[in-house]
Amino acid sequence: MNETLIEQFLQMMSAEKGAAANTLEAYRRDMELFFELCSQQEVGKITKADLSAYVQELSRQAYAPRSICRKISSLREFFKFLYTEKVVKDNLAIYLMPPKREKSLPKFLSDAEVRKMIEIAESSSKPAIRRIGVMLILMYACGLRVSELVGLPENCISFEKKQILVRGKGSKERIIPVADKALNAVSDYYDYRDLFLKGGRRSIWMFPSQSKSGHLTRDAFFKEVKNLAVQAGIEPARVSPHVLRHSFATYLLNHGADLRAVQKTLGHADITTTEIYTHITSEKLMNEVRSKHPLANLKDFSKI
């Protein structure tokens, strides 16, 4: 019964809200975990106490506040669906209070660090590693999410207009300008792309998988990026595909880019999501203070 309700819920989220495949899978995992931990399995008999006990159990199992907040959000959507479909009389999930969470600033790499990893990839004799370099360039040049990057279709770039068409969250499309360096890297990559299509098979993906139909996976890309970080002398824990996206946004804002332009490029629906990057773009400000403030170069403060 519960499995059927979950499937119906996911179908609704896909059809009416255009939820992406990754989002739907996250909802599925959240709902399966809820029914695994909830003592009451009949949805019509679930009480506020049952929901509160579930959230407390998540805390007891040491789930991070961010993760608990997402699971509560999933639960609210699920119970909203149950209430709309008249499976339950009341939407009890609206009373759930998410835990307070500290706002952590996005991690990012310096431009020199990103370039170092790209240079190592480009100098490799292995086509698979050089391809990772191309992907790094595209991600850093366009601020792509890793799911957007690995899922790029072969014909998504207009070399004439110097643009790339990206399908983001909720299947929303956006057009992003592409730098010449990235265009040249992709153009060169197309010369050896067929090496990843053994047996004469064809693929609609820009970065096809070597071992099966479909595209290179996020995990495979993530693994190779970590390897490049090690070779570049960068702590692997500091590096992830999403950190490269953060680095893109940070670099733009540090160099005077308009916040709303960055928002559009990143595909953020709400500008408040983009605004967090303004808290880590202090490099330019600090340089200005150090060079322009009248106290900046005074060595003997007793003269003040």
- By annotation, the residues acting in catalysis are 145, 169, 242, 245, 268, 277
| C-alpha distances in Å from residue 107, one per residue of 62, 90, 172 | 23, 41, 26
CB contact at 8 A, 266 and 249: yes
**What is the C-alpha to C-alpha distance for residues 62 and 203, in angstroms, rounded to an integer?**
43
Angle at 52 between CA 46 and CA 58, to 5 degrees: 115
| C-alpha distances in Å from residue 190, one per residue of 53, 119, 155, 185, 197 | 55, 19, 11, 9, 12
**What is the C-alpha to C-alpha distance for residues 239 and 243, in angstroms, rounded to an integer?**
6
| Residue 44: closest CA among 111, 109, 90, 101 | 90
| Residue 65: closest CA among 89, 41, 100 | 100
CB contact at 8 A, 13 and 24: yes
